[in-house]
Structure 1
Amino acid sequence: MQPRNMSMSGVVDLAAVKAAGEAKAKAEQARAQRQEEGPDAGTDAGSLVVEVTEATFESDILQRSAEVPVVISFWADQAEQSKQLNATLERLAAEYRGRFVLATAEVYANQMLFQQFGVQGVPAVFAVLAGQAMPLFQGAAPEDQITEVLDQLIAVAEERFGIVGAEVAPGAAAPQAAAPPRPATPQELALSAAHEALDAGDLGGAIQAYKNVLADEPANVEAKLGLAQAELLRRVEDADPQAVRQAAANAPGDVQAQLSAADLDLVGGHVEDAFGRLVDLVRRSAGEDRDAARLRLLELFEVIGPDDPRVAAARTALARVLF
């Protein structure tokens, strides 16, 4: 079975932008602390693979995920395929020399983790970045595909969260001394200000701040996500959920009523319902109404993220009704 595409979004998480900013700050603090503590501090070669339990999950996974990508392999003793995958991942952890940490979790000894991650079967591999879990792949896979997924994970960890593992030299017991943290760029400071405004509930200020970042960096993924989230939150902040849903039920052809209901669906975690409502609205409408429904659907795609399979499915459904 080939690995599924990674989803850097996972479930709907309107705190994702805040988490990314906090993770970057924690990563910089961790690097500075390792430098102060000297060459004997940090991640040694023997700690690149850990056996996680429910009791050690917070220290082994959540805390470490602010400093280094953590890959979790769920396995079972009677599943030979999962043990073979673990052997491959352990070897890759050594070869990648600290750019990710591998945690193995035996499913029968960790039923709570098994359920929390929504594991459907073993082997199953997940990642945790800045405390956020995401699926990587299910089942066995060729090594070249596994390394491709790992490379993608490491790139996202650095670009979106500022997380870079402390490199372990081959055969060394400790990593090389980390370089001093670099000063924040004006764009990073502007993005941080936007995050702070969003966190403080200043949605208007956050929207303008994210737009300022995008004016200089139109391809900034973090700013696009933050802007989409801030605009969504501003649209629903004064909404009466019961009244909105009743209005949408009473007037299936009322475009604004359906747009408002879709926003509430998404904020409530009903992603497929929100997408389905808008795809159906595009199908049933024409002219300016159709354009309004289509544009709102594209905005909600930004909130979830392009890598999410629900977005891919909705894009396909939208293409069918448009063409």
Structure 2
Amino acid sequence: MSIAASPAHVFDATTETFETSVIQRSLQVPVLVDFWAEWCGPCKQLGPLLEKLAADYHGAFELAKVDVDKEQQLAAAFQIRSIPTVMLVKDGQLVDGFPGALPEAQLREFLAHHDIQPGVPAEQEPLPEQAAAPVDPHAEVLRLRKAIETEPDKAELKLDLALALLATGGAHEAGQLLDALPANLSTDDRAVKARARLGFAALLKDAPPAETLQAAIAANPDDLRARHLLGVQRIVAGDAEAGLEQFIEMLRRNRGFEDGLPKKALIDAFRVVDDEDLVGRYRRKMSSLLLV
């Protein structure tokens, strides 16, 4: 399949380009990998269906085509024993796959099972809103307290107050508000992220001050417990990059420390950090270290 003839969101993957075009790309969007060959009859049935879905889903996933005759090393690395075989790569890791040609309905079920839903065509995407001016979290706490006095039964305001309190260090009251939310709001993305922040804050209950942790790391760079606590402190304090850097250094030094704590700390932090570009950068760093 030539690049010029490739449908949208479909590309050829080779041994040389696989790390960048599939592994690294999957940190941003899921990638289906179709192992096929020109002589394979079922491949000619499955391939067009996969390409149709890639177009229908408008970038919700991308399709990488691997010609096993041309890329024997890549096929051997994935232990491909029959074709067609399809693999799904998400977040830099192989998560699922299937052999053989499936009908379109089952292909859609496979995608849905992995939370891959059709996207919106680019021409229909809404225009980005103008960025709002930063809000002072302390002023926001005061505003929301007054609003709740006026509408004490409005649970959405209490969720907003919990988020504002977290930004000012009021973790205890924020936790009480989150625990009291009705079921329809307790699973809200903002509530889930707020609980993740509370979990980070709870780790610091009896933690030494940052200066003590920094001194411990300077004396022993392999003190991963100190690195973990310092990383958590940096995340909670709003210095996300410094915190992520500590977690990455933990992963670099000992990925198996305390049953995989370095990787777990990074994944937890990705749920908390709002800067998508920063999260994407550190996801790529994590993937590179895990693939070594």
Query: Fold conserved (TM > 0.5)?
Result: no
* TM superposition score normalised by structure 2: 0.44
* TM superposition score normalised by structure 1: 0.40
- Larger RCO, structures 1/2 (Cα 8 Å, 6+ apart): 1
